[in-house]
Amino acid sequence: MKKLIGIITLFTTVLTLCGDEQLLQIGKAQSKVEVVVNVTAHTFVASLENYDLKITVDTERAKIINTEFSFDFKELKTGKKARDKEMLKWEEYNKYPNCFLF
């Protein structure tokens, strides 16, 4: 049984490497997402450390096929707790807690 599982794993890996599409791996430790927020009185920047990002690449044509980016609005931080709380009210967090971009 262990040999069969090993063979299936190896076969799946070979298919993934030979396929036309691959999922691009993003290093979150080396990446940064910042959002510039413009409000009536001023502008500020919010940072996002926890998010999901999937980028599918056609390796033969070196083209991006699909991107998916999502996050929970509670993860968007400005460095000021009171401002973060107000931003969640403004974004209507209770109705729309997540952001999805495709």
Tell me: the pLDDT tens digits for 47-87? 998 999 898 988 888 888 999 999 999 999 999 999 999 99
Range of the domain at 70: 22-101
Distance separating alpha carbons of residues 3 and 102, to the nearest angstrom: 40
3-state SS, residue 13 = helix
> Does 1 reside within a domain?
no
**Helical ranges in the chain per DSSP H:** 2-18, 81-90
Tell me: the pLDDT tens digits for 30-56? 888 998 988 888 899 999 989 998 989
Judged against a pLDDT cut of 50, whether residue 10 lies above it is answered with no
Number of domains, the chain? 1
Cα dist from 32 to 13, 29, 54, 83, whole Å: 30, 8, 15, 21
